[in-house]
A and B are shown apart, each in its own frame.
Chain A
Amino acid sequence: MYPSAVQDAYRAELASIRDKGIFKEERYIHSPQAADIRVEFPSGAELKQVINLCSNNYLGLSSHPEVVAAAHRALDERGYGMSSVRFICGTQDLHRELERKLTEFLGTEDTILFPSCMDANAGVFEAVLNDQDVMIADRLVHASIVDGMRLCKAMQDTYKHTDMKHLEQKLQEHQDKRGRLIITDGVFSMDGDVAPLDQICALADKYNAMVFIDDSHATGFMGRTGRGVHEHCGVFGRIDIITTTLGKALGGASGGCVSGRKEIVELCRQRARPYLFSNAVPPPIAGAALKVLEILNKTTERRDKLEANTKFWRQALPEAGFVIKEGDSPIVPIMLFNAKLSQDISRDLYQEGIYVIGFFFPVVAAGQARIRTQMSAGHDIPMLKRAVEALKKVGGKYGILGLDKKGIIEKYGQ
């Protein structure tokens, strides 16, 4: 039974999403994931070859031949699926091997795999904290962390984005709790800025708190050998809980993990519900992820190329007359402040062969609309130069080149 009143309400909700201009549509990619892809958009339209500036394929490993071959090998040797959760009969040697290699790579004590990092974040807080504890999160942490915190009985608090004075105040306020957990993203996914982990760890030591980071937008490339933001900030080995993903730089398929203090990982293995009640990543993904780590342990070539591309891009965009968010990461937002402008420009860029997406409230703060661009080791400088030319052409059409924040807002509103 599908009551018509319910159906009508759903239709009205969908219509309202469309009216607000925030209806999400998928674009179909007819090629492997890469820096240069063939896209069908809108549905049924002729395929278009575009430069991809919006994937999390930071190291260009999503379709790397050695990674694909490793997935094939694991498929042949260990099969397709597990048909069981981990603790019944769903754990292969490959899964434990991958956990060991991730532990080494991240510089922690132990690791537990989850079906995704979203699941890791959904499960970890509830598994290790109770109502005697407090979670103190940066206000711009990823939505999956917010969801995970909501599932946990510990007290919730937040601090202003990367504001260490405010964090310190909160730590002082919560000295009566059994445990304090500071929660932050390593690299913030919308702004591309980096959490000041050195200062966060110093505060954690001073106020007897643990530190949690979600390093999904950093694992594999931030830091000199790509270990993540803890390496980048000089606090490798000092983070109590790291969650991260295999779905971005590390091959980009799916899967995530909680890595950190061994008791915390062990508690997750006993209690974390997404781990207990869903299957592990399938063998081809485990096998391919092991290959990715092997590649990254052998050479920093890919993260070095990503760093060079990022440096070029972060210099080229302001030179072309765009306002960007400063930072060190390959996430480079082009600030447009106005939601409609971000939609119009991303649509025009697609026609010019550049695939980017506009983001606006509520995904980012009101009045902070932007196009988020992301660098990859799969890009090369000539490709990026072509992208800059297209951006200049479209930016010129809208008359925003050389305008600062105030200028753009005066012209288009906020």
Chain B
Amino acid sequence: MKDVILEYIKNEYLDEEEAEDMKLDENTPLISSGIVDSFSMVSLKRFLERKYSVSLPDDEATPQAFDTVSNIIVLVNKHRKGA
């Protein structure tokens, strides 16, 4: 799951130059570093919901919950288990 999400983030949020320069891993801050802002976060949320057949409630899809890929995996797994 980690690699799939990282790949999506690279394609969706970084331009080519940034994608080459930046080392992105599961602990890289996404929101607090400005790579993803709250405005463009919706497409990531939709991607996760489609890809992993989950529904992420808006009150849990917070900037904190989306700040690293590790956090995102925790959130997605929580809802997968519940499903």
Which residues of A does B touch, CB under 8 Å? Answer: 137, 139, 146, 156-158, 160, 163, 361-362, 365-366
Contacts and interface: CB of A to CB of B under 8 A. Distances in A.
Question: Main SS of chain B's interface residues?
Answer: loop
Interface of B: 13, 15, 33-34, 37, 39-40, 42-43, 46
A158 B15 contact: no
Nearest to B42: A156
B43 A157 contact: yes
A160 B15 contact: yes
B37 A139 contact: yes
Given A158-B42, A361-B34, 15 more contacts: A139-B37, A139-B39, A139-B40, A146-B39, A157-B42, A157-B43, A158-B39, A158-B40, A160-B13, A160-B15, A163-B15, A362-B34, A365-B34, A366-B33, A366-B34
B66 to A, nearest CB: 15
A362 B38 CA distance: 12
B58 to A, nearest CB: 12
Contacts of B33: 366
21 contacts: A137-B39, A139-B37, A139-B39, A139-B40, A146-B39, A156-B42, A157-B42, A157-B43, A157-B46, A158-B39, A158-B40, A158-B42, A158-B43, A160-B13, A160-B15, A163-B15, A361-B34, A362-B34, A365-B34, A366-B33, A366-B34
A393 B75 CA distance: 53
Contacts of B34: 361-362, 365-366
A361 B40 CA distance: 17
A366 B30 CA distance: 12
A196 B6 CA distance: 29
Nearest to A361: B34
By CB atoms of chain B within 10 A, which of A156, A361, A362 has the most? A156
Sorted nearest first, the 9 A-B pairs with minimum C-beta distance are: A366-B34, A158-B40, A156-B42, A146-B39, A139-B40, A365-B34, A157-B43, A160-B15, A361-B34
By CB atoms of chain B within 10 A, which of A137, A139, A158, A362 has the most? A158
A3 to B, nearest CB: 25
Contacts of A163: 15
A278 B37 CA distance: 31
Contacts of A137: 39
A130 B65 CA distance: 28
Nearest to A365: B34
Contacts of A146: 39
A181 to B, nearest CB: 15
B30 to A, nearest CB: 12
A366 B37 CA distance: 11
Contacts of A156: 42
B4 to A, nearest CB: 17
A330 B12 CA distance: 31
Contacts of A361: 34
